[in-house]
Structure 1
Amino acid sequence: MTKQLVIKVTAGADAPERCSQAFTVAAVAVASGVRVSLWLTGESSWFALPGKAAEFELPHAAPLPDLLDSLLAGGAVTLCTQCAARRGITQDDVLDGVRIAGAQVFVQEVMEEDVRALVY
């Protein structure tokens, strides 16, 4: 079985360094051949919407749209159900490739064999 990395990012523009770290680690893992599941929760939920990643700026950091594109191409990106609902975001609103799922799916993922989980 291939190892998987599940990353839950709770930070967005409110904590740019923490947010960027989560996306960077996830993208590097994908580039290294690791199965990656990135969960967008809290303020990072906005990055599930078209154009929102382009609004994010952090000096000396990889552009968030590039990181997100690599994750959508080679990993899984999930938006938290409750976080989406609180922000009025529906499946029709999100980028292609982003799914909306809840805590039950998150728990299933992190409880699989050979899974490592990080929270940012």
Structure 2
Amino acid sequence: MSRSLVIKVTAGADAPERCNQAFTVAAAALASGIPVSLWLTGESSWFALPGRAKEFSLPHAAPLEDLLSAILAGGRVTLCTQCAARRDITVDDVIDGVRIAGAPAFIEEIFAEGARSLVY
């Protein structure tokens, strides 16, 4: 049985420590060889747009832009369909490599054999 980690991050600049922790855990899991799927929902949805992760700052934390780049390079990043729609974000707006998908895809991922999920 293979293992994987699905992380749903709901926090953005409104809760910077929780937000950064989600990205840090995702990047650490990838570095450990664990397949990772990061879901951007709620206020974290904005990080699907170019330049937004670079604007985020949290003292004593790895830059969010670097963490996002690592996750995009080795894992999967998904922007919630409804969250994107509420923010008028379209597939043409997002960073290359970010997909937009909804609840059925999320459910499929978290119920895959060997999957673990975290919500931040």
TM-score, structure 2 normalization: 0.99
Does residue 57 of structure 2 align to residue 66 of structure 1? no
Corresponding residue number in structure 2 for 1:80: 80
Q: What amino acid is the match of 2:60?
A: H
Identity percentage of aligned residues: 76
The Cα shift of 1:90 comes to: 0.3
Question: 2:101 aligns to what?
Answer: 101
Q: SS where residue 78 of structure 1 aligns?
A: strand
Query: Secondary structure of the equivalent of 2:21?
Result: helix
Task: Output the aligned Cα RMSD.
Answer: 0.5
Q: Which runs of 5+ in 2 are unaligned?
A: none
Q: Secondary structure at the match of 1:117?
A: strand
Q: Distance in 2 between matches of 1:45 and 1:20?
A: 14
Within 5 Å, give how 1:1-120 maps onto structure 2. 1-120=1-120
SS of 1:106 mapped into structure 2 = helix
Gaps of 5+ in 1: none
Q: Deviation digits for residues 72-96 of structure 1, max 9, x if unmatched?
A: 0000000000000000000000000
Post-superposition, which runs of at least 4 consecutive aligned residues in structure 1 deviate over 3 A? none
| 8 Å contact from structure 1 (residues 49, 94) kept in 2 | yes
In the alignment, the residues of structure 2 paired with residue 39 and residue 2 of structure 1 have an alpha-carbon distance, to the nearest angstrom, of 20
Q: Which amino acid in structure 2 is aligned with residue 40 of structure 1?
A: L
1:110 maps to amino acid: I
Give the conservation status (yes or no) of the 8 Å contact 1:6–1:110: yes
How many pairs does the alignment contain? 120
The answer to whether the 8 Å contact 1:2/1:35 transfers is no
Give the secondary structure class of the aligned counterpart of 2:28.
Answer: helix
Deviation (angstroms), 1:2: 2.2
